[in-house]
Amino acid sequence: MKKSIRPTLAFTLALMLGASLAPLAQGQELTGTLKHIKDTNTIVLGHRESSVPYSYFDNSQHVVGYSQDIALIIVEDIKKALGTPNLQVKLIPINAQNRIPLIQNGTINMECGGTTNNLERRKQADFSDTISITETRLLTKRDSNIHSFDDIVGKTVVVTAGTTSERYLKKYINDKKLNIVLISSRDHAESFLMVDTGRAAAFFMDADVLAGERAKSAHPDDYVITGEPQTHEAIACMLPKDDPAFKALVDKSIARIETDGETKALYTKWFMSPIPPKGINLNYPLSDSLKAVFNHPNDTSLDE
């Protein structure tokens, strides 16, 4: 778990300046992502297609979710800071495999979709203050007799390709030399389908993602989330690497909504209330760890 809470510079600035995000100083030279956004009058957001409740399509193919709401709040603050009230927002669907390359090559300016901030990924991209904390467990059918990680030996387990869960479970199996067949799927919806159709005995992923897949199934009570938590992970928005001005503005926006209670309300909306498109309720309470983050915003990854 987290060794310490490291408030960001943006959090300190937010406390000093209050809730408002004033425009950048007149004449201040813009660089990097902020300059590109202002010059093109467009910000490009990467989003997930089926990562309930973080970022996903509803029945009308609108992007909705907890992370998406936060991303749009950040966009509004960027508009104010840049003095661009008519800033255009372009949405590009991404997945676990291509999200880092797309942020690296500038195709997207920011990705808020349930991505873990860890030391390995921070070699390739930067991350905002934490917006959620999750743990990895197993989803399986209620009658599977799988109750712990010992019970998946000799069985097939599915993970979503390109995720930290995939890398963790590969190492877990190799290190312990276990007889477990590991398969990878394109996205979370496909991973759940593997369990639903009997092609896999269990789906290993972040517990809140598992709760979302279970809740939106035709028969949620047929599935359980089980097994000892294997990892605890900080979820954040992914940003271009080595662009401190852009990161400071994003962090300042997140710190503002976390300390004023807005993010807690968003959490209740997406994790503890009926959500579109079917009115499902994840019933996934706010953890003490995430409460601490909301009180003291920080960008610490939990593997530091």
Domain pair 9-134+233-295 / 136-226, same fold: yes
| 239 SS3 class | strand
H or E element, residue 236: strand 232-239
Task: Please state, for a pLDDT cut of 70, what percent of the chain lies above it.
Answer: 91
Block residue for tokens 């309930």: 52
* CATH architecture type of domain 136-226: 3-Layer(aba) Sandwich (3.40)
In whole angstroms, what is the distance from residue 87 CA to residue 263 CA? 23
Q: Both tokens of residue 301?
A: 């990854």
Nearest of 164, 193, 187, 223 to residue 93 by alpha carbon: 187
Q: How many CB atoms lie within 10 A of CB 289?
A: 17
For residue 101, the Cα-to-chain-centroid distance in whole angstroms is 17
- Give me the pLDDT at residue 29, please: 86
Looking at the DSSP bridge assignments, the partners of residue 157 are 182, 202
CA distances from 117 to 102, 120, 195, 232, 299 (A): 16, 9, 27, 11, 8
Range from 8-12, 24-28, 219-223 that averages highest in pLDDT: 219-223
pTM for this predicted structure: 0.82
Mean pLDDT of the chain: 91
In whole angstroms, what is the distance from residue 55 CA to residue 204 CA? 19
The average pLDDT across 47-71 equals 95
The DSSP-derived string for 137-176 is EEEEETTS---SGGGGTTSEEEEETTSHHHHHHHHHHHHH
Looking at the DSSP bridge assignments, the partners of residue 47 are 93
Nearest of 24, 14, 55, 23 to residue 258 by alpha carbon: 14
The answer to whether residues 245 and 32 touch, using CB atoms and an 8 Å cutoff, is yes
State the pLDDT confidence band at 10, using cuts at 50, 70 and 90. Answer: very low
Q: Residue 111: is its pLDDT beyond 90?
A: yes
Q: How many CB atoms lie within 10 A of CB 30?
A: 15
Length of the chain in terms of residues written: 304
State the pLDDT confidence band at 22, using cuts at 50, 70 and 90. Answer: low
H or E element, residue 207: helix 207-215
State the pLDDT confidence band at 302, using cuts at 50, 70 and 90. Answer: confident
> Count of alpha carbons within 13 Å of 128, Cβ hemisphere only?
29
- Give me the pLDDT at residue 148, please: 96
CA distances from 99 to 48, 108, 121 (A): 9, 9, 11
For residue 286, the Cα-to-chain-centroid distance in whole angstroms is 15
Would you list the domain boundaries of the chain?
9-134+233-295, 136-226
In whole angstroms, what is the distance from residue 61 CA to residue 57 CA? 5
Q: What is the pLDDT of residues 177-206, one digit of tens each?
A: 999 999 999 999 999 999 999 999 999 999
State the pLDDT confidence band at 25, using cuts at 50, 70 and 90. Answer: low
Q: Both tokens of residue 194?
A: 């593997």
Comparing 10 with 238, the larger pLDDT belongs to 238
CATH 2.30.29.30 is right for the domain spanning 9-134+233-295: no
For residue 179, the Cα-to-chain-centroid distance in whole angstroms is 31
State the pLDDT confidence band at 24, using cuts at 50, 70 and 90. Answer: low
Q: What is the pLDDT of residues 119-145, one digit of tens each?
A: 999 999 999 999 999 999 999 999 999
**For strand 42-47 and strand 110-117, is the pairing parallel, antiparallel, or unpaired?**
parallel
Q: Residue 12: is its pLDDT beyond 90?
A: no
Block residue for tokens 């467009």: 42
Q: What is the pLDDT of residues 253-301, one digit of tens each?
A: 999 999 999 999 999 999 999 999 889 899 889 999 999 999 999 999 9
In whole angstroms, what is the distance from residue 272 CA to residue 254 CA? 21
